[in-house]
Amino acid sequence: MTSDNGTVTQEEISIAGCSLVEMVKQKYDEARYSELERCAEKAFTRQHETVDCDLVNTSRQIIKSCLPANFCQLLINSYESNEQLLHSKALSQQIITNILSTSAIDQAAISYLGSEYMPLWYEVSKATDRDNQTTMSFKWHCDTGPAKQLKIIVYLNPTSQHQGNTLLSDKTTTDKLKEIGYVFNSTKYRLSDIKRLTDALKLPHCIESFDLAAGDGILFNPYDLLHRGSAPSPSTPRYTLTLCLIQSPIHWLECINNIYYPAYQYDDWLNVMGLFEHYLANHQPLI
Ligand SMILES: [Fe+2]
């Protein structure tokens, strides 16, 4: 596996599709995420508001009516007429404030994370019947990034109308498939069907899908649970709004007003600690 001059080849230092450069970056990112976790948990003061809930016990929870149905329709219309409208601060503020003011989401998020949280990015997506074949997020995977993160996927049109869905596996199956190297392997090895793997590992093939009205959402940890999108019927697209949350030492409202305003669509994991450090250096220390 070494080249003719005895140096180590790129092929040799690749492990399961992960290059040495990626591994070093991963270690650096993990240290950064651990520091954010430590700092957020240390600063947390709302322990008295935490509850025992589905999210705490199973890493996922259905939240009814995160957004009003007429607002969901407005988001669909905006997406179809001019997606740039969704980047506007006026509209994004309504999206974020509506969702994070839903008490079931706030309560579940602080109980699960053991800290405050901040929105990192949001996005409206349209899925069609072709996505099962062509889209990587429509194959079984976990999201990368911090181990403690949350995603809320709000359905803008009901599952009964389009038959699309979000499929979730359970934590035991996910942990086993992490152990055998499936979960964070190269995206080219992602599968649409994991039954062959769960059968081989003698695991029950438990896959959840949900009956969701317009405005209902699935709150879950996408690092913790294998998941994939499920494409809608050919006649009706599936519209969803996704909001990503990460831990924070500071309440989300103060974050979006003074520290960081969430981006439209995922770009890269930010140096969030750097943002907080900069903020805290210029304000009253909170931690
Ligand atoms: Fe995902």
Domains of the chain listed by start with CATH number: 20-283 (2.60.120.620)
SS3 134: helix
Averaged pLDDT for residues 111-140: 93
pLDDT at 4: 41
Centroid of ligand 1 to alpha carbon of 7 (angstroms): 37
pLDDT for 227 beyond 60 = yes
Centroid of ligand 1 to alpha carbon of 286 (angstroms): 33
pLDDT for 286 beyond 60 = no
Centroid of ligand 1 to alpha carbon of 251 (angstroms): 25
**Which is higher by pLDDT, 237 or 17?**
237
Centroid of ligand 1 to alpha carbon of 138 (angstroms): 8
Q: What is the pLDDT of residues 22-40, one digit of tens each?
A: 666 677 778 888 888 998 9
Centroid of ligand 1 to alpha carbon of 48 (angstroms): 32
Centroid of ligand 1 to alpha carbon of 223 (angstroms): 8
pLDDT at 31: 83
Centroid of ligand 1 to alpha carbon of 6 (angstroms): 41
Which has the minimum average pLDDT: 84-98, 131-145, 186-200, 272-286?
A: 272-286
What residues does 165 pair with on adjacent strands? 230
- CA 190 to each of CA 134, 228, 268: distance values in angstroms, whole numbers, following the listed order: 12, 10, 21
Centroid of ligand 1 to alpha carbon of 262 (angstroms): 18
Centroid of ligand 1 to alpha carbon of 227 (angstroms): 6
pLDDT at 187: 85
**Which is higher by pLDDT, 30 or 87?**
87
Centroid of ligand 1 to alpha carbon of 226 (angstroms): 8
Calpha distance 69→167 (Å, rounded): 23
Which has the minimum average pLDDT: 65-69, 92-96, 150-154, 254-258?
A: 254-258
pLDDT band for position 103 (cuts 50, 70, 90):
very high
Calpha distance 166→8 (Å, rounded): 43
Q: Are strands 165-168 and 116-127 parallel, antiparallel or unpaired?
A: unpaired
Q: At what angle do helices 89-100 and 103-113 cross, to 10 degrees?
A: 70
pLDDT at 222: 97
Centroid of ligand 1 to alpha carbon of 279 (angstroms): 30
Q: What is the pLDDT of residues 211-225, one digit of tens each?
A: 999 999 999 999 999
Centroid of ligand 1 to alpha carbon of 228 (angstroms): 6
pLDDT band for position 266 (cuts 50, 70, 90):
confident
Centroid of ligand 1 to alpha carbon of 136 (angstroms): 9
Q: Is 60 within 8 Å of 54 (Cβ atoms)?
A: yes
Centroid of ligand 1 to alpha carbon of 137 (angstroms): 6
Burial of 274 (0-12, 13-18, 19+ CB in 10 A): exposed
Centroid of ligand 1 to alpha carbon of 5 (angstroms): 42
Query: Exposure string (b/e) for 77-110, b if CB count within 10 Å is 16 or more?
Result: ebbeeeeebbeeeebbeebbeebbebebbbbbbb
Centroid of ligand 1 to alpha carbon of 142 (angstroms): 6
Centroid of ligand 1 to alpha carbon of 203 (angstroms): 22
Centroid of ligand 1 to alpha carbon of 24 (angstroms): 23
Centroid of ligand 1 to alpha carbon of 222 (angstroms): 6
Centroid of ligand 1 to alpha carbon of 14 (angstroms): 24
